[in-house]
Structure 1
Amino acid sequence: MTSTAPDFFTDEQTRRLYATDASSYEELPKAVAFPETTREVIDIVTYARRQGLSLTARGAGTSLAGQTTGGGIVMDIGRNMNRIINIDAQKQEALVQPGVIRDTLNREASRHNLLFGPDTATTNRCMLGGMIGNNSCGLFSIKHKTTREHVLEIETVLSDGSKAVFKPLSQTELAAKMELDSLEGQIYREMTGLLREHSDRILANYPHPEIIRRNTGYALDRLCEMAPFTEGGRPFNLAELLCGSEGTLAMTTSAKVKLVSEDPAHVMLVPHFSSIRAAMEATVEAVETGPAAVELVDDIILNATKGNIEQQKNRFFLQGEPKGILIIQFDGKNISRLKAKAQRLADKLQKRNLTSSAALITDPEKIDRVWQLRKAGLGLLMGLGSKGRTPTFCEDTAVRVPDLPDYVDDFQRILDRHNANCVFYAHASVGELHLRPVINLKEKDEIQKMKTMAGEIADLVRSYRGSLSGEHGDGRARAPYIEKVLGTEMMPLLRRVKQIWDPGNIFNPGKIVNPKPMEQDLRYSPAYQPPEVDTQFNWRKEESFADALELCNGAGVCRKLADSGGTMCPSYMATREEKDSTRGRANLFRQLFSGRQQEAFRSGELRDALDLCLSCKACKSECPANVDMARMKAEFMQGWHEDKGISPGERFFGQAARIYPLAGIWPRLSNWMMRQPAVKEVLQQWLGIDKRRDLPAFAPQPFMEWYQKRSKSSDPRRRGSAQANDLQSLPETAGGGQKVVLLIDIFTNYHDPEIARAAVRFLEATGHQIIIPGFHELGRPQLSKGMVKHAKKVLDQNLPRLATYANRGFPIVGLEPSEILTLRDEYLDLCDDEQLTSAEMVAAQSFTFEEFARKVLSAASNNTPPPSGTRKVYIHGHCHAKALIGNSATRQALQLSGYETDVLQTGCCGMAGSFGYEKDHYEVSMDIGELTLFPAVRSLPDEALVCAPGFSCRHQISDGVGKRAWHPAELMAERVGIGN
């Protein structure tokens, strides 16, 4: 394909990346474009029209009904057209490009105590262009209504390549528009003519006007409410029609949106229910009190939070095992009045026997955590596995709030008739529930069941004069059933609207009118071939590698930016390219392995997409579906190595234990040589080590050498310590005190022995007898380089010895988080079935140093107060620790040692083991550091203490900011008065 500006990307990888969104559909486009300006959008539209290609606009790709999939050109406006052009605080308006993320706009607007009201579950990555296309609403739609109410005007490119701005028009301005000799003029003439002729029929057939969220078809009923069609109506504004048109009428290039003032006070009430019916009856009562939000979450989602690392901590408010909960928020200026209102509602619900318990929450941080749990709902559903998959074909219906209880009962009767289970959640305050029946799209009978149920549900919605789509749009999933809801006589009008605006049918065809069958182009279907490949990991939790590849549903949480917090996905945060997101990589995995099976291990496309994956593990916790891309990458790279071989650089970093003993013999010589420009040049050419980096220096004396000499000392405190290859070398009663196995990784031994010395002295000072095993590696470097078979050999050697310690009840403590957490993570899937019991026992007895220190100091704190002389420590957490156990152990252990702590809101440091040392990754590594870590550390006072448990993190901080970061063991040893 050739073109003028901008470039079209037609390579297989890019097309695959844009073949899916968050829906059930997958359609390979012919090309993808990334416009930077309105002029380039015009060029793309013009090219598509001349070539007869469809054009689908796309922001974050979080659409649930297939709106952002298309077989022609997919135009990603998010990568480049993402500027906030202006915020006018006085007028409470913002002018934005369509790729601006909603939360990004609100962070800027919050400086003026303003916000853009619509608050979808995807606000940390969804974009204003997509919100306009879907007329998004979100959690607070009873308060803020829909995007439509907040859009003042929209600048567009029409289907002939011309520009037009749609905004409120006076009668004189409307008349002038109708005189234009252009497509814009024709649109005004024909649209007003259509409305004059059919307004009565439109208002009679469209959803009930009391339903706030009604997006079925084109919003003709909204236009009928305007002047001149309704006397005294608001000014005529076709921007309201574009909101919810799903990119089928025009391409948005900018929008002026209304901002609203923030309420300072918030109170949350969370009543628990034994049935969904009771929750719906309570919703009717709650809405009468004027809440800002009323959200339903059922037991299926609540149970899914139990197995999600990120959401487990957000379950603090739950009492027992309810069938469902309502999250009710009251906003205002006086918190006492809000609390009183919430309590009155709670009393009323209890008096009516609708609920027996209700949590009242006023702490802002806790309120935010409850909303985090609610927003994770969609992704959590995918974590249920293939047997619990809930495709989005009827999840967006809306009825009047008073009709909700009966509507839910009627819906349940449809489910019972088809022997189907269903998830119930979302926006009860405005009569919209996300009702997601469990359907297995891989089975032909289940697809037929879905189609039959879709028809019956559409009939049910019609009987309540409801809306088939509340905000997610009609799209591929619901467009075939619009006729059932609006009536046969409305379809010619909808097709006429499309013809008026887009006579060539190039803009996102088939998403509202003239749809394909709903079962066509499904991501999963009877034709889907799950991969059957040989793997090194057992994939026990997921049940198989094939199931692991299907976890990602496209919700796109991995596309959040650094300002939104969290760690996932650091490479995407730096590059903002879809291929560098967890979703992009997961899509390529599924597409390639299902199509090519074992051959996919040779895929250069997938190898390229995985190149910037730091294996940080953040996706394992922050992704609602718990996609573990680090493990998937290791699995793929093992297969890649078997075909392509292992590079010298991969061997150098993956098998450092073979090289370090030699370099450690002459540490000063090794250090001198590694800093010589000529040697650096050789290392860059041979091993790919960027010459701008200094490799970590070797210590004059490795820890093990120091420890062996020290263990011979006659100091009574040290008699219990020993280096042991097995338990037989350590007497049962030697030294007294609890025995602790201290694992010394190779990097601590050769580079940072002072950390291990501090740990030893801390443990001795707290009365422990230390066992130092005679090995340094657990397999982490091998896993990070995809040398999984090598890691398995390490496991086979270490597991029996570690199991012997664990079996005796000895804690196994590690200083490097990624090393020790390998025992609790990968070992459980890397071991054979006959090794699993031992691996589980070892995992249960394994602790990071901070976890163990917290336990020890907590027990001691009952008798001994923490040391005096408080000093503040700023903590940067290690990625693996944050993903698997969190930062609380480090924070609490330091507090028990007498420090005041502040956990820095930093994501990944960007070093990630060897990643930041490699020539091809150096720039990205530093870019990641600059996202949050480097600015946070630079902002600290010069004398500030920075704590970083991770070896890589400490070196990245040193390289990027020039500041020393300390291991917790060093800081805690100092506080017990024993120094280093």
Structure 2
Amino acid sequence: MISTAPKLFTDEQTRRLYATDASSYEELPEAVAFPKTTAEIVGLVAYAREQDCPLTARGAGTSLAGQTTGGGIIMDIGRNMNQIMDIDPQGQTARVRPGVIRDTLNRQAAQYNLLFGPDTATTNRCMIGGMIGNNSCGLFSIKHRTTREHVLEIEAVLSDGSKAVFKPLTPTELTAKMELDTLEGKIYREMTTLLENHREQILENYPHPQIIRRNTGYALDRLCEMQPFTDDGRPFNMAELLCGSEGTLAITTSAKLNLVPQDPEKVVLVPHFSSIRAAMEATVEAVKMDPAAVELVDDIILNATKGNIEQQKNRFFLDGDPKGILIIQFDGDNRSRLKTKAEELARRLQDLKLSASTPIITDPDKIDRVWHLRKAGLGLLMGLGAKGRTPTFCEDTAVRVVDLPNYVDDFQKILDRHNSNCVFYAHASVGELHLRPVINLKKEQEIEKMKTMAGEIADLVRHYRGSLSGEHGDGRTRAPYIEKVLGPEMMPLLKQVKHIWDPQGLFNPGKIVNPKPMEQDLRYSPSYRPPSVNTQFKWRKEESFSDAVELCNGAGVCRKLADSGGTMCPSYMATQNEKDSTRGRANLFRQLFSGRQQEAFQSGELRDALDLCLSCKACKSECPANVDMARMKAEFMHGWHQANGISLGERFFAQAANLYPLAGQMPRFSNWMMRQPAVKELLYQLLGIDKRRRLPEFAREPFDQWLKERKEASPSPASTDKPGVVLLVDIFTNYHEPDIAKAALHFLEATGHQVIVPAFHELGRPQLSKGMVSHAKEVLDEHLPLLSAYADRGLPIVGIEPSEILTLRDEYLDLCDDNQLKSVQKIAKQSFTFEEFAQKVLAASNAVPSPDTRRKVYIHGHCHAKALIGNEATHEALRLAGYDPEILETGCCGMAGSFGYEERHYDVSMDIGELTLFPALRPLPDDALICVPGFSCRHQIEDGVHRQAVHPAQLLAASIQ
């Protein structure tokens, strides 16, 4: 191999991880490479030529037409080639490597009040190279048009390994390029000849020029608009051809981009409709008002938001259950004028009897929430499960806006003819709708239906002189039908373009031209074998373990970086390795279990991929499809333990309750021992505990011992009129931080409650985190009778540690037997985190806090709480108690129970802490109150920034003294 080429990874795990993207396809590559420089790409191209091996460039892998899958070498440019090389605020340009994430660029450009305009639903993880390859457009394409309009120059590696820069050329410069005795010169000579000979034919057959989003085939019509082919055209720039070429012609190594000023104000109008036809007629009216965006969301997606934890809170603007809505945004510098425009359009739609409900939203935070719901659309469809699976074979068509109402009617006729339902959503403002008929690819007759419908839809697009692909590219899905849309006379020209640029056919073959049949290499097909294995969890919501492993559609929301906000996926944020993303792990689950079935529980590659999963549960809410990787990991680890046994370290962390009573009886000795170097070495050797960690010290008196002595000294009366409440004190609070339990008890008693403290300290959380699921089931069985008795009496069950108490509301519902389910459901309904219950108590008391006692409190939320219930209860309880709370925008702390204590995880644990949490805490005043509900979070903060954090119970108890 040439020395400058990057290392090729040929192991099965890596190849599996890159076998899929967000499309319906799965093709195992021969190898995967992660180049760091242009020189390494040159070397890789030379190697591919020598071996006659196809080469497919890939960024985030969010493409929907299969264009980033391939059987040769997959080249991931995202991991290393992700530098913003320069931002020129005066010239309003940026020069970037192809692996730069769009939102990352815009965060840096924002300091100059600039942005890169194209705004896809995937902007928190999609990369500029991929946006160029697909000519991405997004939500605001009526305003910003496409990526093509914002790419000024492209530096690329050609198929012979040479380098070239494509940019606007004067006639003299174009002539000079054509005289070069290189592949670049040959490209210019033969491309100009092709355009000269076929200009009229191209313009006649290509989509209507009024259609902004037209990406069918190669953009020959765009080149025909330039000089010298159009006298008053813009300068000739082959970069426009590369935009939308899907990596089939050249490999982008850097790009110079146009940036545009940000508009300071925005207003959103959301009219509701009783039919999709009415929404399309309203779109025709809306575009007359010069909006920045007009997006359609139909009832299928809106209904899916009801069952999504993250999106439920974003439904605030919905009035009933409309058939569809339009999200119409107006941008400018005067909010009042924008609101007036929105009101005028709302009246117009009402007068035309198109919409009776037209809410207008002006608050920026609420506007962001509306768009969050819209952007979740693709993943929400996958959250519907197998019954709602919608392959992307026709979802990207575009027609003129004026044709939309009739086009939708004609499309519905095709659906009716094939007895199929369809999802309607996306970019109505520019005539593009994501139309996704429901097709079950596991059935042969459904595949035949898909192929027939694809042909009929292509004919319909041709009838309206539309574009088969408006944004997501031809790839493998639509390439077989380009001929129907552009006509048979265009296909030789497209093939000639491919041959001019890539005569050996190395770059991403089979995309745009010479495609395989659309039904080949499908992820799901009649030959697919769904997993049929014995599991510990019941997987009731998903209906089966098989359905659970098929939830991920590859949209890659889990690949966003920490700067984009949220918590998912903390290990990927730290390593940026595909195997550490929820998507990567989910793909391995599906591939291995569908292939090896029960034997997949012994898979070393899946065990490795799960090693850095912190079981934070962020994916359960932030993943639009609600993939619960924490539960999948627990299920897998249980099966792994059955075959390979349970290590001493895993037993130690999972069954601390067996050891703590002894250590708690002699706390001073226990603490002294844990500080000794020899003991630290022993703990490292036996249990894998990192010697750099400070182990939590045992309190001089555990809470249960203190409570026993308190009761003996002052027995409570046998009966009382006070309302009862059950306080669950977890083992770590009991032995390490009993003052927190005392504070919780004080608060509950001071607010008029009779407090019952059960004698047990665990609900199975540590066991679940180590995959000892059967042991957790034993804990459930042991404590269920007493918990049921509390629930039957109507007693609230309150927990101090969020992960423990939320186990009752989450895993118990799937861990219990069928005959236990009703009891567990009742317990779940009556279980509360301490903060949730405190909020209810304080809200009911109608107490008015004194403004003189208000003090700033900074809140870092527990991952499980953020995923399952949010931070609002903590914030509201502290506010009601008289504090001035602020929720910090921090993700996972990186400790995650025992994860951060383990030597093999220590560095990643601290790296995760440095992503958002540690930087957020360091600038705070020395006397700042830092409120953290989670035990491991507080200890990570102490180790990471040497700050003391307190539990909400301590602050709330102090507020009522």
Q: Could you state the TM-score of these two structures normalised by the residue count of structure 2? A: 1.00
Instruction: Quote the Cα distance in structure 2 between the aligned partners of 1:310 and 1:536.
Output: 27
Aligned equivalent of 1:727: none
Aligned equivalent of 1:330: 330
**The one of 920, 943, 953 aligned to 2:904:** 920
Aligned equivalent of 1:780: 765
Letter matched to residue 331 of structure 2: D
Asked if structure 1 preserves the Cα contact closer than 8 Å seen for 2:5 and 2:41, the reply is no
Letter matched to residue 926 of structure 1: M
Aligned equivalent of 1:252: 252
Asked if structure 2 preserves the Cα contact closer than 8 Å seen for 1:266 and 1:362, the reply is yes
Instruction: Quote the Cα distance in structure 1 between the aligned partners of 2:77 and 2:5.
Output: 15
Matches within 5 A, 1:296-695: 296-695=296-695
Aligned equivalent of 1:272: 272
Aligned equivalent of 1:89: 89
**Displacement after TM superposition at 1:735 (Å):** 2.7
Matches within 5 A, 1:112-123: 112-123=112-123
Deviations 1:246-300 (A, max 9, x none): 0000000000000000000100000000000000000000000000000000000
Aligned equivalent of 1:726: none
The verdict on how the C-alpha distance between 1:777 and 1:2 changes in structure 2, with shifts beyond 3 A counting, is: farther
Instruction: Quote the Cα distance in structure 2 between the aligned partners of 1:937 and 1:775.
Output: 35
Aligned equivalent of 1:79: 79
Asked if structure 1 preserves the Cα contact closer than 8 Å seen for 2:22 and 2:556, the reply is yes
Instruction: Quote the Cα distance in structure 1 between the aligned partners of 2:106 and 2:905.
Output: 33
The secondary structure found in structure 1 opposite 2:204 is helix
Asked if structure 2 preserves the Cα contact closer than 8 Å seen for 1:180 and 1:186, the reply is yes
Instruction: Quote the Cα distance in structure 2 between the aligned partners of 1:944 and 1:876.
Output: 13
Aligned equivalent of 2:928: 944
Instruction: Quote the Cα distance in structure 2 between the aligned partners of 1:570 and 1:695.
Output: 23
Deviations 1:896-920 (A, max 9, x none): 1100011000000000000000000
Instruction: Quote the Cα distance in structure 1 between the aligned partners of 2:640 and 2:507.
Output: 41
Asked if structure 2 preserves the Cα contact closer than 8 Å seen for 1:296 and 1:425, the reply is yes
The verdict on how the C-alpha distance between 1:156 and 1:842 changes in structure 2, with shifts beyond 3 A counting, is: same
| 2:754 corresponds to 1:769 | yes
Instruction: Quote the Cα distance in structure 2 between the aligned partners of 1:340 and 1:774.
Output: 63
Instruction: Quote the Cα distance in structure 2 between the aligned partners of 1:199 and 1:485.
Output: 18
The secondary structure found in structure 1 opposite 2:757 is strand
Asked if structure 1 preserves the Cα contact closer than 8 Å seen for 2:215 and 2:473, the reply is yes
Aligned equivalent of 2:825: 840
The secondary structure found in structure 2 opposite 1:245 is coil
Deviations 1:619-666 (A, max 9, x none): 000000000000000000000001000001000000000010111110
Instruction: Quote the Cα distance in structure 2 between the aligned partners of 1:262 and 1:600.
Output: 51
Q: Which has the larger displacement, 598-607 or 865-874? A: 865-874
**Displacement after TM superposition at 1:3 (Å):** 6.9
Letter matched to residue 76 of structure 1: D
Letter matched to residue 909 of structure 1: C
Asked if structure 2 preserves the Cα contact closer than 8 Å seen for 1:719 and 1:735, the reply is no
**The one of 908, 911, 914 aligned to 1:930:** 914
Asked if structure 2 preserves the Cα contact closer than 8 Å seen for 1:867 and 1:976, the reply is no
Aligned equivalent of 1:724: none
Instruction: Quote the Cα distance in structure 1 between the aligned partners of 2:609 and 2:721.
Output: 54
Instruction: Quote the Cα distance in structure 2 between the aligned partners of 1:83 and 1:174.
Output: 30
**Displacement after TM superposition at 1:2 (Å):** 9.0
Letter matched to residue 879 of structure 1: C
Structure 2 segments unaligned to the other structure (5+ residues): none
The secondary structure found in structure 2 opposite 1:921 is helix
Instruction: Quote the Cα distance in structure 2 between the aligned partners of 1:3 and 1:19.
Output: 26
Letter matched to residue 158 of structure 2: L
Letter matched to residue 741 of structure 2: A
| 2:720 corresponds to 1:710 | no
Letter matched to residue 795 of structure 1: L
Letter matched to residue 809 of structure 1: G
**The one of 720, 738, 744 aligned to 1:759:** 744
Instruction: Quote the Cα distance in structure 1 between the aligned partners of 2:511 and 2:624.
Output: 28
| 2:938 corresponds to 1:971 | no
**Displacement after TM superposition at 1:884 (Å):** 0.1
Instruction: Quote the Cα distance in structure 2 between the aligned partners of 1:918 and 1:613.
Output: 13
**Displacement after TM superposition at 1:4 (Å):** 5.5
- State, as a whole percentage, how many aligned pairs show the same letter: 78
Aligned equivalent of 2:716: 719
Letter matched to residue 738 of structure 1: P
Instruction: Quote the Cα distance in structure 2 between the aligned partners of 1:156 and 1:245.
Output: 13
Instruction: Quote the Cα distance in structure 2 between the aligned partners of 1:195 and 1:398.
Output: 25
**Displacement after TM superposition at 1:830 (Å):** 0.1
Aligned equivalent of 1:133: 133
Instruction: Quote the Cα distance in structure 1 between the aligned partners of 2:650 and 2:543.
Output: 30
Number of residue-to-residue matches in the alignment: 961
Aligned equivalent of 2:148: 148
Asked if structure 1 preserves the Cα contact closer than 8 Å seen for 2:849 and 2:881, the reply is no
Instruction: Quote the Cα distance in structure 2 between the aligned partners of 1:283 and 1:939.
Output: 48
Instruction: Quote the Cα distance in structure 2 between the aligned partners of 1:226 and 1:518.
Output: 34
Instruction: Quote the Cα distance in structure 1 between the aligned partners of 2:712 and 2:466.
Output: 82
| 2:785 corresponds to 1:800 | yes
Deviations 1:502-530 (A, max 9, x none): 00000000110000000000000000000
Q: Could you state the TM-score of these two structures normalised by the residue count of structure 1? A: 0.98
The secondary structure found in structure 2 opposite 1:118 is coil
Deviations 1:569-602 (A, max 9, x none): 0000000000000000000000000000000000
Asked if structure 1 preserves the Cα contact closer than 8 Å seen for 2:725 and 2:796, the reply is yes
| 2:871 corresponds to 1:874 | no
**Displacement after TM superposition at 1:774 (Å):** 1.4
Instruction: Quote the Cα distance in structure 1 between the aligned partners of 2:210 and 2:3.
Output: 48
| 2:887 corresponds to 1:903 | yes
Letter matched to residue 293 of structure 1: A
Aligned equivalent of 1:961: 945
Deviations 1:720-741 (A, max 9, x none): 5xxxxxxxxxx5xx13211000
Instruction: Quote the Cα distance in structure 1 between the aligned partners of 2:774 and 2:567.
Output: 29
Instruction: Quote the Cα distance in structure 2 between the aligned partners of 1:859 and 1:896.
Output: 10
Letter matched to residue 188 of structure 1: Y
Instruction: Quote the Cα distance in structure 2 between the aligned partners of 1:388 and 1:232.
Output: 50
Aligned equivalent of 2:197: 197
Aligned equivalent of 2:98: 98
Aligned equivalent of 1:851: 836
The secondary structure found in structure 1 opposite 2:821 is helix
Instruction: Quote the Cα distance in structure 2 between the aligned partners of 1:100 and 1:57.
Output: 14
Instruction: Quote the Cα distance in structure 2 between the aligned partners of 1:492 and 1:665.
Output: 84
Instruction: Quote the Cα distance in structure 1 between the aligned partners of 2:516 and 2:362.
Output: 49
Instruction: Quote the Cα distance in structure 2 between the aligned partners of 1:830 and 1:564.
Output: 34
The secondary structure found in structure 1 opposite 2:136 is coil
Aligned equivalent of 2:810: 825
The secondary structure found in structure 2 opposite 1:288 is helix
Instruction: Quote the Cα distance in structure 2 between the aligned partners of 1:63 and 1:867.
Output: 53
Asked if structure 1 preserves the Cα contact closer than 8 Å seen for 2:848 and 2:880, the reply is no
Letter matched to residue 811 of structure 2: E
Letter matched to residue 947 of structure 2: K
Superposition RMSD on alpha carbons, in Å? 0.8
Instruction: Quote the Cα distance in structure 1 between the aligned partners of 2:161 and 2:193.
Output: 24
Letter matched to residue 793 of structure 1: E
**Displacement after TM superposition at 1:5 (Å):** 3.0
Instruction: Quote the Cα distance in structure 1 between the aligned partners of 2:713 and 2:381.
Output: 59
The secondary structure found in structure 2 opposite 1:946 is strand
Asked if structure 2 preserves the Cα contact closer than 8 Å seen for 1:857 and 1:897, the reply is yes
The verdict on how the C-alpha distance between 1:200 and 1:864 changes in structure 2, with shifts beyond 3 A counting, is: closer
Instruction: Quote the Cα distance in structure 2 between the aligned partners of 1:169 and 1:713.
Output: 92
Asked if structure 1 preserves the Cα contact closer than 8 Å seen for 2:4 and 2:40, the reply is no
The secondary structure found in structure 1 opposite 2:86 is strand
Deviations 1:479-512 (A, max 9, x none): 0000000000000000000000000000000110
Structure 1 segments unaligned to the other structure (5+ residues): 721-730
Aligned equivalent of 2:798: 813
Instruction: Quote the Cα distance in structure 1 between the aligned partners of 2:4 and 2:671.
Output: 54
